[in-house]
Structure 1
Amino acid sequence: MKIGIDKIGFYTPHLYVDMNKLAVARHVEPEKFTIGIGQSQMAVPPLTQDSVTLAANAALEILDEEDRNQIDLVIFGTESGIDHSKSAAVYVHHLLGINPHARSIEMKQACYSTTAAMQLAKGHIALHPEKKALVLASDIARYGLNTGGEATQGAGAVAIVISANPSIMELESESAYFTNDIMDFWRPVYSDTAFVDGKFSNEQYIAFFNQVWGQYKEQTGATLEDFEAICFHLPYTKMGLKALRTVLDETSEAVQERLLNHYQISTTYNRNVGNIYTGSLYLSLLSFLEQAQNLQAGTKIGLYSYGSGAVGEFFAGVLQPNFEQHVQRDKHEKLLANRKELSIAEYEEVFQQTLPTDGSTVELDINQDPAIICLAGVTENKRQYVNKNN
């Protein structure tokens, strides 16, 4: 039985900042951002969007009534959770009107947790092939104004329906994974922003890739020639390229050229959204599926997932017949094209807006936010969500 991605959707806030202009404001050469880390634009979330609303909006565009009835597992991967106790999945489950007889949980392991969610969802569908699972990856990457990590911020969500006989991609059963306790990136519960050892984290990202790729080859006998493309977790778009280059000498120049060309295609959306942590790999996959030309059914795509702290995994998917009819290129291109550019002053103002932490009540103006699902305010420490379609 084939199990894999039946539907995939994406959402990012309606605001962004231009990385060239941010570089000028920070007194650095623009090429450091646009070429050095490979980012062109960075999504900026208004106060009316958080990890819950981003995920709900991403899923809203792909679910129909049949999905809502068949989904009995909702897994939310994030490191931008809004509550230490209640899972973000429960909020989204309600906002989308999903079948009440469902399990809803939140998972955490830096940027890796969505991959773990996908694997758990596969196991669930193997036992219950008549059901579907909704996997959500949603994050807001924040490091602070005028910090070293500012240029690698971002916001967005990817929603994925896992089912038997999937329309888009079968996820193969073989995968290679590796865990090691390191401190390359972390955020203690008392901190609103993360701590990162940038050089060490880059080194470990590459080391983990080589570890799991080597393990995957041993398990499967696969070579680079078997893959049309390899999609990477992208904290910034240059990161995956650094890892890919470490293994290119394993194959011919023709295959190297194909993998490099397809890598660039896979970074299209990420380059204009920024870092979305748990969703970054799957946004890269979506970018490749919607932007690459002449992809054929049976094509194999490699996937490298990495979450600091750290866990890495390499696995693969196979494209299904007529998969291109089940992605939404026009809708996602329109989503990005219709965003509003913020000046640096406006971006800084939005960035510094925060919700109350003392139990006081606040009402937010959701009319300024074009999203269907928004955060409308906080009352008695309870976030108030609105689905404008209801």
Structure 2
Amino acid sequence: MNTKKIGIDKINFFTPTLYVDMIDLAHARDTDPNKYTIGIGQEKMGINPITQDAVSMGANAALPIISKEDALLIDMVIFATESGTDYSKSGAVSIHKLLGINPFARCIEMKQACYSATAGIMMAKDYVTLHPGRKVLVIGSDIARYGLNTPGEVTQGAGAVAMLIAEDPRIFSIRDETVMYTSDIFDFWRPTYSENAMVDGKFSNEAYINFFETVLKEYQSRYSLDVASLEALCFHLPYSKMGKKAMANLLENVSETTKERFLTHYEESIIYTKNIGNIYTGSLYLGLNSLLDNAPSLKAGHTIGCFSYGSGAVGEFFLLDLVDGFDEHLLTAEHTGLLAARQLLTVAEYEEVFSEKLPTDGSTASLSSRFDHAPIQLVEVTNHQRHYDFVGESKE
């Protein structure tokens, strides 16, 4: 049995090159901007051009962190999404080809609303434990769509997070102890015939809070966890205020010092979400990226409590431990540059981009977008098949 620590060796996120400002959107929707920027806590919404879908975004997120050496050692690509492009073929297969990963690898797609990337990480941890020296690539990639001028519009977003799971990780080790909880509910769902998600907003918030409190209480009971021993809590963030709502009862029962620490780190963890929006399966891990990049007080040995949630519903609470030298392996400058290079759309331009459609009749469409500067793009649809390639940059 492998006794080495297993965890997140590398982590990176990607979001497309476009965004709309929430104040502009509020004015266009005849709404008080404070409702969006303060009440919901969103500042910008990431928008994907037609040349970026869940597969291409996932590949772009993974591209900077997968070396040639990694590609030879990756035995599994796990693609977690609720924005899949095919009911049969996994998007992981396309990503596997684009990244030049070892051909003797397993490639699968996982679904359970916003939760499935966490299931992928736990599966990856188990695999690496049993196969020392091998690695697993886990990607959470999604496009959150609720439709134009709908109640959920302000929480839309697009992006992906890629994580390499390996032994002797350079960023986080994953604790063995974890608590999962499942209940069959309809707080959020998207039937196969609908392009846009459906949500019972009030019930969804209540379910999220209930799941967090339930799994945390069970974790404390099973493993005698003192929450004050945690440096920070990270949450799945359908919008930037949600995790804070879930923490409310907890914060009433901890010391002022712990409360202040949790709230400070929470604000650091939501910076990217406020500027991108909900990215479903990648959301919790976008928050982790944000915490890593924006929390100067983090140190090796600190433990982060993580709450993963996927409507319908499945929740999980688990712990990550920062390892020595983690801060030398972050892509903070690259993330800052990615966000700074995005292009602001007017609301009219956003609505035009949002409404663009791919052919569904089997006809051929060669795709390009003046807005897209990502290295990997969806370049063609022909005979109901999506084709991806490197655009403007070589794979090297």
- For the aligned pair, the TM-score class normalised by the smaller chain equals over 0.9
Residues 366 and 374 in structure 1, CA contact (< 8 A), matched pair in contact too:
no
User: Hey, what's the Cα distance between the residues in 2 that align with 1:366 and 1:70?
Assistant: 35
CA deviations 1:77-125 (Å, max 9, x no partner) are 0000000000010010001100000000000000000000000000000
User: Hey, what's the Cα distance between the residues in 2 that align with 1:301 and 1:337?
Assistant: 28
Aligned pairs (5 A) from 1:194-233 = 194-233=197-236
Q: CA deviation at 1:367?
A: 6.0
Question: Residue 246 of structure 1: SS of its match in structure 2?
Answer: helix
- TM-score, normalising length from structure 1? 0.99
Structure 2: unaligned runs, 5 residues or longer: none
* Corresponding letter in the other structure for 2:56: T
Identity %: 56
Q: CA deviation at 1:248?
A: 1.1
User: Hey, what's the Cα distance between the residues in 1 that align with 2:209 and 2:83?
Assistant: 24
Question: Residue 319 of structure 2: SS of its match in structure 1?
Answer: strand
Match of 2:114 among 111, 116, 130: 111
Question: Residue 192 of structure 1: SS of its match in structure 2?
Answer: coil
User: Hey, what's the Cα distance between the residues in 2 that align with 1:140 and 1:162?
Assistant: 24
Question: Residue 43 of structure 1: SS of its match in structure 2?
Answer: strand
1:180 counterpart residue number:
183
1:352 counterpart residue number:
355
2:68 equivalent to 1:70? no
User: Hey, what's the Cα distance between the residues in 2 that align with 1:97 and 1:265?
Assistant: 35
User: Hey, what's the Cα distance between the residues in 1 that align with 2:374 and 2:48?
Assistant: 11
Residues 228 and 301 in structure 1, CA contact (< 8 A), matched pair in contact too:
yes
Task: Kindly report the root-mean-square deviation, in angstroms, between the aligned alpha carbons of the 2 structures.
Answer: 0.8
* Corresponding letter in the other structure for 1:54: M
* Corresponding letter in the other structure for 2:383: E
User: Hey, what's the Cα distance between the residues in 1 that align with 2:316 and 2:159?
Assistant: 22
2:254 equivalent to 1:251? yes
Q: CA deviation at 1:29?
A: 0.5
Residues 224 and 250 in structure 1, CA contact (< 8 A), matched pair in contact too:
no
Q: CA deviation at 1:249?
A: 2.0
Match of 1:329 among 307, 329, 332: 332
Q: Give the ranges of 4+ consecutive aligned residues of structure 1 lying more than 6 Å apart after TM superposition.
A: none
* Corresponding letter in the other structure for 2:38: I
Aligned pairs (5 A) from 1:186-335 = 186-335=189-338
User: Hey, what's the Cα distance between the residues in 2 that align with 1:344 and 1:8?
Assistant: 32
Q: CA deviation at 1:220?
A: 1.3
User: Hey, what's the Cα distance between the residues in 2 that align with 1:242 and 1:148?
Assistant: 19
* Corresponding letter in the other structure for 1:129: P
Match of 1:384 among 384, 387, 390: 387
1:92 counterpart residue number:
95
Residues 81 and 111 in structure 2, CA contact (< 8 A), matched pair in contact too:
yes
Q: CA deviation at 1:368?
A: 4.5
Residues 40 and 240 in structure 2, CA contact (< 8 A), matched pair in contact too:
yes
Match of 2:366 among 363, 368, 379: 363
* Corresponding letter in the other structure for 2:24: K
Q: Which moved more, 1:288-297 or 1:138-147?
A: 288-297
Question: Residue 162 of structure 1: SS of its match in structure 2?
Answer: strand
User: Hey, what's the Cα distance between the residues in 2 that align with 1:196 and 1:85?
Assistant: 26
* Corresponding letter in the other structure for 1:242: K
Q: Which moved more, 1:361-370 or 1:143-152?
A: 361-370
Question: Residue 61 of structure 1: SS of its match in structure 2?
Answer: helix
* Corresponding letter in the other structure for 1:365: S
2:369 equivalent to 1:372? no
Residues 3 and 122 in structure 1, CA contact (< 8 A), matched pair in contact too:
yes
User: Hey, what's the Cα distance between the residues in 1 that align with 2:74 and 2:122?
Assistant: 16
2:20 equivalent to 1:14? no
2:7 equivalent to 1:4? yes
User: Hey, what's the Cα distance between the residues in 2 that align with 1:367 and 1:43?
Assistant: 16
1:61 counterpart residue number:
64
User: Hey, what's the Cα distance between the residues in 1 that align with 2:292 and 2:230?
Assistant: 14
Q: CA deviation at 1:357?
A: 0.8
User: Hey, what's the Cα distance between the residues in 1 that align with 2:175 and 2:70?
Assistant: 23
Q: CA deviation at 1:366?
A: 4.9
Question: Residue 330 of structure 1: SS of its match in structure 2?
Answer: helix
User: Hey, what's the Cα distance between the residues in 1 that align with 2:263 and 2:369?
Assistant: 42
2:179 equivalent to 1:165? no
Question: Residue 16 of structure 1: SS of its match in structure 2?
Answer: strand
User: Hey, what's the Cα distance between the residues in 1 that align with 2:206 and 2:381?
Assistant: 41
Q: CA deviation at 1:64?
A: 0.6
Q: CA deviation at 1:246?
A: 1.8
CA deviations 1:230-283 (Å, max 9, x no partner) are 000000000000001121122101100110111010001111000000000000
The structure-2 alpha-carbon separation of the partners of 1:294 and 1:261, relative to structure 1 and needing over 3 Å to count, comes to: closer
- TM-score, normalising length from structure 2? 0.97
1:34 counterpart residue number:
37
Residues 17 and 371 in structure 2, CA contact (< 8 A), matched pair in contact too:
no
Residues 366 and 375 in structure 1, CA contact (< 8 A), matched pair in contact too:
no
